[in-house]
Chain A
Amino acid sequence: MSATTPTYAFAYLDEQTKRMIRRAILKAITIPGYQVPFASREMPMPYGWGTGGVQVTASIIGPNDVLKVIDQGADDTTNAVSIRAFFERTAGVATTTRTTEATIVQTRHRVPETPLAEGQTIVFQVPIPEPLRFLEPRETETRVMHALEEYGLMHVKLYEDIARHGHIATTYAYPVKVEGRYVMDPSPIPKFDNPKMHRSPALQLFGAGREKRIYAVPPYTEVVSLDFEDHPFRIQSFDRPCALCGADDVYLDEVVTDDRGGRMFVCSDTDHCEDRRAKGFTGEQVHQEAAE
C-alpha cells in the first residue's frame, strides 16, 4: 500500500482559511468586543489547548514576525513550548521569550507585566468566549441578550456575590465592558490583568477554536471591568513581593517548597522576573542566601 504524504502551507493553514479568518479578525476589530463567528478548523492540537489562538496567530503571522508564547505567564510551560515549536516548525519564524522583542505574543491566562507597545499584537487563547454562558447556556439566547444590550443578568450575578460575600467573588475571567457597548470575556486571566487591557496601545485579539468565535479590542479602546459605584472593581494584591526579584506590583505564583507548610511567592511572568534580576533587583530569597 502506498500512503499519501501530507504537505502543509506556511503556518499550517491553507491560504483560503487564512483569508476567512482575517476577514473575521477585521470584522472583530471594527466591532470591539463583539464575538464574530468563524468556521474554525480542526488543528493538529486538541480543542481547548489553544486552537483558537493558534488559528488567529497563524493567520496574522508573517516570515518577519517575532513570536512569544506564554502559558500562565511563563514561556517554558509545556503547552507554550509546544505551540512555539509548532510555529517554529510550520512557519520558520523567529521566537523570543522577551516581551519587548516580540511582534506577536500568544498567551493563555496572563497579560505580560511589561506594558505592550504600539505595533505589538497579543493573541489570547479563549476556552469559553461567551461571558453570559454560565448564566444562560443557550447560544440562541445569549446572542439576543448581546444584541439588545441586555446585561442585567450579569449585574444581578455580581450583586448576589456582594450580598452573599460582601464583595464580588469572581477572581479570573472577570467580565469587562468594551467601548461602552459589548460585555466581553477577557479570557481566564486573573482580574489583576484586566486594567492592562484598558486603552492598551497594542492590538488585542481573542480566538476561541472549539466555540468558533473571534473577538478583538483595537488599540486605545476603553475596557472597563464591571462593578458598582459603592463596590468599585479592585485587583488582587499580594502582601509580599516576589522572592526572586522583589517586585511588589506584579502577579505572583505560590510555590509549595516543602510538605511542612513552606510557601514562597515568585513572579508569574518569568520574562519580567528575569529581566528585573538582570538589572540587579533582588528579592528576599537572594537576601537570605547572602546572609547565610
Chain B
Amino acid sequence: MYIAVKGGEAAIRNAHRLLDDRRRSDRSVPALTLDQIVGQMALAVDRVMAEGSLYDQELAAMALRQARGDMIEAIFLLRAYRTTLPRFAAARPLDTFRMRIERRISAVYKDIPGGQLLGPTFDYTHRLIEPAMADDPPVDEPMRRLSEAENCPRVTDILGAEGLIEADGQAGSDGEPGDLTRDTLDFPISRDVRLQALARGDEGFLLALGYSTQRGYGRTHPFVGEIRIGLVDVEVELPEVGFPVGIGRIRVTECQMVNQFKGSAKEPPQFTRGYGLVFGQSERKAMAMSLVDRALRADEFDEERTAPAQDEEFVISHSDNVQATGFVEHLKLPHYVDFQAELDLVRRMRREQERPREETESVQEAAE
C-alpha cells in the first residue's frame, strides 16, 4: 500500500549528523585549530574573507572548517553572518600610498622609485610537488629588510604627473559610497557599486571574463601598471572628535591596470585605468577584477559593447557565487508538481500527434 512519505524531519537530522561525522573524520587525528587554518591555509582564508566581504580571519577560518574546505560554502557562511551586522560608519578611502608593502611590482617600468619587491610569491617557483613536504621539514627564517621601508609612489601617479593617464575618478557628490548589500541594484549602476560587486565576485568567473578580454572578446590592451600587496590602515571619520581615527589594519591586494586609449573628441590620447582591490593576498583576483572593471567602462570611452565582459547587466548579475550556487543547486529541490504538469502536457501532445495517423490508418483499412 502506498503511504505518503513522512519523516523529512528525522532524515534531515540524521543527514546533518552524518555530515558532522564526515567533517570531523578520524577522531584519533587532532582537529584542525583555527590558528593552523589562519596560518597555513592563509590564502584560502583570504579568499573567503574577500568574497564573503568580511575581514575577519578567525571567522573565515571557522567557516572554512565548518564547510569542510568548500570555499563557496564558507563564503556563504560568512555572508549570512555579515548581513546581520550593523553598519556604523563608512571608512575613509584606503590610502594605499602609505601601504606597508610586502610585494610590489610593475610591468611598465624597469625600475621605479621604491623598487620592485617580489615578496611572498608563487611566481618563479617550479611547480614540483616536494616529497619532503609530506612531513614537516624545517623552514628557513626569511630575509628581512634592514631599514623601515618608505612610502612608494604609485606608478599611476608617476604617469599622472605627466598627464598621460586619466585622473582618478571622483566620488559622488555626498562622498558616500554605494552599498549593494543595503540598496537595490538599479542598472546601469555607478562605478563604486560596480567595483564593490566585482570585489565580492567569484574569482573563477572574473578570471574567465578577464581572460576573455585578452582573447579578443572586448580587448582593452592592458599593462600591469602596478600590483601592491601589504597592510593599510583603516580610518573612520568620527564627527565627535573631528579627525580620522585608525580602527585597524588590513591586508589588501591592489592592482592598477594601465590600458591604451586612442582619445576621443572630448579627451586627448591617454592611458586609462582598470582597478582591482581585494582583501588579503589575491593577485589573480585583483588582476582579473581590474581587467573586467576596464572592460565594463566601455561606454565612458565610446567603445562599442560587443563582448560579455563589457556587459554590465550580464557581468554583475552573474558574478556572485553565493547567488549562483543557490540557484543552480535549487534544481535538486522537489519539482514534481511542475513536472507533473509537463508530463501531462507531453502525453497530451503525443496523443494528439498520434491521433491523425491512426485515423488515416483506419480509413485505409476500411477502403481495403
* Chain A residues with a Cβ under 8 A of chain B: 1, 3-4, 6, 8-9, 12-14, 37-39, 41-44, 46-49, 51, 71-74, 76-82, 85, 108-110, 127, 138-140, 165-166, 169, 171-173, 188-192, 210, 212, 236, 243-244, 251-255, 257, 264, 266, 268, 270, 273, 285, 289
Contact = CB atoms under 8 A, between A and B. Distances in A.
Contact of B337 (A51, A109, A138): A109
A254 B313 contact: no
Interface string B50-71: 0000001011001000000000
Interface stretch (B101-109, B236-244, B267-275, B326-334): B326-334
Given A46-B76, A72-B335, A85-B12, 6 more contacts: A42-B322, A171-B344, A173-B338, A188-B338, A236-B341, A266-B2
Interface in B311-368: 313, 317, 322-323, 325-330, 333-338, 340-345, 349, 352
Contacts of B84: 6, 8-9, 12-14
* Chain B interface category by residue count: 35 or more
B313 A140 contact: yes
A77 B8 contact: yes
B254 to A, nearest CB: 26
Which 8 residue pairs spanning A and B have beta carbons closest together? Answer: A47-B326, A48-B330, A46-B326, A171-B341, A37-B184, A48-B327, A42-B83, A81-B8
Given A3-B58, A48-B330, A139-B313, A191 B341 contact: yes
B338 A109 contact: yes
B4 A165 contact: no
Contacts of B142: none
A73 B341 CA distance: 14
Nearest to A2: B58
Interface stretch (B151-159, B185-193, B281-289): B185-193
A47 B341 contact: no
Contacts of A76: 4-9
A236 B80 CA distance: 40
Contacts of B335: 72, 109, 188
A42 B80 contact: yes
Interface of B: 1-2, 4-9, 11-12, 34-35, 38, 56, 58-59, 62, 76, 79-84, 86, 181-188, 313, 317, 322-323, 325-330, 333-338, 340-345, 349, 352
B349 A165 contact: yes
B188 A210 contact: no
Contacts of B325: 46-47
Nearest to B35: A1
B337 A190 contact: yes
Contacts of B328: 48
A110 B183 CA distance: 31
B339 to A, nearest CB: 9
Nearest to A171: B341
Contacts of A46: 76, 322, 325-326, 329-330
Contacts of B327: 47-48, 127, 210
Given A37-B184, A171-B345, A190 B338 contact: yes
A66 B193 CA distance: 40
A243 B2 contact: yes
**Which of A39, A171, A251 has the most C-beta atoms of chain B within 10 angstroms of its own C-beta?**
A171
B70 to A, nearest CB: 13
A77 B6 CA distance: 8
Contacts of B9: 76, 81, 85
A41 B83 contact: yes
A110 B62 CA distance: 38
Given A14-B84, A188-B338, A251-B337, A266 B4 contact: yes
Given A38-B184, A39-B181, A254 B343 contact: yes
Nearest to B38: A1
Nearest to A85: B9
Nearest to A109: B337
A268 B336 CA distance: 9
Contacts of B5: 76
**Which of B317, B328, B336 has the most C-beta atoms of chain A within 10 angstroms of its own C-beta?**
B336
